């Protein structure tokens, strides 16, 4: 989906370059359908991100190189993606008749007031006012409510075995670049290692002598390894050792340390359920994106900079949101 959002925003830029439609105001970053994203609304989200990273890594983080760009420009690209998706979801909410109740609108107003009570002088000087903050909270909650509405029929019932996380150790012998004859010799070597392990030799000692893999001990969930390795690993009970398992990379002898990590399995179950809901949502979203008319203001985006000084905020958008609406999604 990340690639999809970059393509979507690239289309916005092309539309802007072509000069179609009405011109956007100087503080308007882009317009999707009837939804306009202003610089001030974007800054509400930017400031929370800025505070988080500067607290952890210092103000110099923005000039750190990330691939072929700076971290500031990398985060700016991410902000564009996030805001484009957010405004698309607000448009979708109109189509699916997802509206806020009076109680929810009141909560949006209270959240905006609390956030503004802690705003810095620098942020206020940047033009951030009540309407901008209220729009940010309303849009974010509307997107969250839309997500819950469209995925309400996704059961989220995940079996223990589907979510199970295990711990295994491996002894790996590579077959990369070998002839068939050499592969046979490697299999015989792996079989000898397996025989030694079955006869009671210390598995860690054997690994120290024979393992060619980068990792000896692995924590695995389903879908994270090649099918032959996964099938063998998840079929073992704690303490059991597999036979010689062949993958595209070579031969493995696997020992199961734990065939059920309770806490990690519970977390993985939540993640699988979350992913199922997200996959369901994007079936709707992907179809909708193609119907959206968009305009993009490149000059306004050029004024967005994570290095800009907005002072020290007394409130954080996401903390205030959590206080009034809980965790999104």
Q: Are the C-beta atoms of residues 277 and 154 closer than 8 Å to each other?
A: yes
| Domain-ending residue, one of 260, 286, 312 | 260
Q: Does any domain span residue 30?
A: yes
Do 74 and 171 have their domain in common? no
Q: Does any domain span residue 266?
A: no
Q: Does any domain span residue 269?
A: no
Residue with the bigger pLDDT between 292 and 190: it is: 190
Instruction: Say if pTM beats, i.e. exceeds, 0.85.
Output: no
**Which has the minimum average pLDDT: 60-74, 181-195, 245-259, 306-320?**
306-320
Do 68 and 99 have their domain in common? yes
Do 73 and 203 have their domain in common? no
Do 65 and 141 have their domain in common? yes
Do 128 and 10 have their domain in common? yes
Question: Which structural domain range is residue 183 located in?
Answer: 165-260
Do 170 and 237 have their domain in common? yes
Q: Does any domain span residue 267?
A: no
Instruction: Provide the pLDDT for residue 181.
Output: 97
**Which has the minimum average pLDDT: 11-15, 119-123, 143-147, 168-172?**
11-15
CATH assignment of the domain containing 173? 3.10.50.40
Which of 102-116, 141-155, 277-291, 312-326 has the largest mean confidence? 102-116
Instruction: Provide the pLDDT for residue 22.
Output: 63
Do 68 and 210 have their domain in common? no
Instruction: Provide the pLDDT for residue 327.
Output: 75
The number of folded domains in the chain is 2
Where does the pLDDT of residue 14 fall: very low under 50, low under 70, confident under 90, or very high at 90 and above? very low
What pLDDT, in 10s, does the model give residues 196-236?
Answer: 999 999 999 999 999 999 999 999 999 999 999 999 999 99
Instruction: Provide the pLDDT for residue 16.
Output: 42
Can you give the three-state secondary structure of the chain, one letter per residue? CHHHHHHHHHHHHHHHHHCCCCCCCCCEEEEECCEEEEHHHHHHHHHHHHHHHHHHHCHHHHHCEECCEEHHHHHHHHHHHHHHHHHHHHHHHHHCCCCCCHHHHHHHHHHHHHHHHCCCHHHHHCCCCHHHHHHHHHHHHHHHHHHHHHCCCCCCCCCHHHHCEEEEEEEEEECCCCCHHHHHHHHHHHHHHHHHHHCCCCHHHHHHHHCCCCCCEEEEECCCCCHHHHHHHHCCCCCCEEEEEECCCEEEEEEEEECCCHHHHHHHHHHHHHHHHHHHHHHHHHHHHCCCCEEECHHHHHCCCCCCCCCCCCCCHHHHHHHHHCCCC
**Which has the minimum average pLDDT: 24-28, 187-191, 260-264?**
24-28
Instruction: Provide the pLDDT for residue 258.
Output: 98
CB atoms within 10 A of CB 233: 23
Q: Does any domain span residue 160?
A: no
Do 12 and 92 have their domain in common? yes
Instruction: Provide the pLDDT for residue 25.
Output: 79
Do 40 and 139 have their domain in common? yes
Which whole number is the average pLDDT over 263-281? Answer: 94
Instruction: Provide the pLDDT for residue 236.
Output: 98
Q: Does any domain span residue 255?
A: yes
Spatial distance between the Cα atoms of 194 and 27, rounded to a whole number of angstroms = 68
CATH assignment of the domain containing 28? 1.10.4030
Do 173 and 289 have their domain in common? no
Instruction: Provide the pLDDT for residue 328.
Output: 67
Which whole number is the average pLDDT over 128-155? Answer: 95
Instruction: Provide the pLDDT for residue 278.
Output: 92
Asked if residue 2 has pLDDT above 50, the reply is: no
| Domain-ending residue, one of 209, 229, 260 | 260
pLDDT averaged over every residue in the chain? 91
Asked if residue 290 has pLDDT above 90, the reply is: no
Q: Does any domain span residue 149?
A: yes
Q: Does any domain span residue 298?
A: yes
Spatial distance between the Cα atoms of 30 and 212, rounded to a whole number of angstroms = 53
| Domain-ending residue, one of 204, 229, 260 | 260
Do 147 and 181 have their domain in common? no
Do 119 and 171 have their domain in common? no
Instruction: Provide the pLDDT for residue 15.
Output: 43
Asked if residue 66 has pLDDT above 50, the reply is: yes
């Amino acid at each position: 989906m990340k690639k999809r959002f970059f393509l979507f925003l690239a289309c916005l830029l092309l539309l802007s370059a072509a000069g179609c439609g009405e011109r956007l105001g100087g503080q308007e970053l882009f317009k999707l359908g009837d939804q306009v994203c202003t610089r001030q609304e974007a800054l509400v989200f930017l400031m929370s991100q800025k505070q988080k990273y500067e607290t952890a890594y210092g103000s110099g983080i923005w000039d750190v190189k990330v691939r072929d760009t700076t971290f500031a420009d990398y985060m700016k690209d991410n902000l564009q993606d996030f805001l484009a998706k957010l405004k698309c979801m607000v448009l979708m909410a109109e189509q699916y008749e997802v509206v806020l109740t009076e109680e929810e609108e009141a909560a949006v107003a209270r959240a905006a007031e609390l956030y503004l009570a802690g705003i810095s002088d620098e942020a206020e000087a940047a033009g951030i006012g009540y309407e901008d903050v209220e729009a940010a909270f309303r849009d974010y909650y509307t997107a969250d409510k839309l997500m819950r509405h469209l995925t309400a029929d996704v059961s989220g019932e995940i079996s223990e075995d589907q979510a199970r996380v295990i711990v295994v150790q491996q002894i790996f012998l590579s077959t990369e670049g070998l002839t068939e004859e050499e592969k046979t010799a490697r299999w015989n070597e792996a079989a000898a290692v397996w025989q030694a392990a079955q006869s009671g030799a210390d598995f860690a000692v054997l690994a120290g002598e024979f393992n060619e893999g980068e990792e000896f001990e692995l924590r695995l969930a389903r879908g994270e390894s090649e099918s032959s390795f996964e099938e063998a690993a998840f079929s073992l009970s704690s303490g059991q050792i597999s036979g010689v398992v062949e993958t595209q990379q070579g031969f493995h002898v696997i020992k199961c340390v734990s065939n059920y990590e309770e806490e990690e399995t519970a977390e993985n179950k939540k993640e699988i359920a979350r992913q199922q809901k997200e996959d369901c949502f994007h079936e709707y979203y992907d179809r909708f994106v193609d119907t959206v008319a968009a305009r993009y203001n490149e000059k306004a985006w050029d004024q967005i900079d994570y290095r800009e000084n907005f002072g020290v905020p007394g409130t954080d958008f996401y903390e205030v949101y959590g206080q009034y609406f809980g965790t999104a999604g």
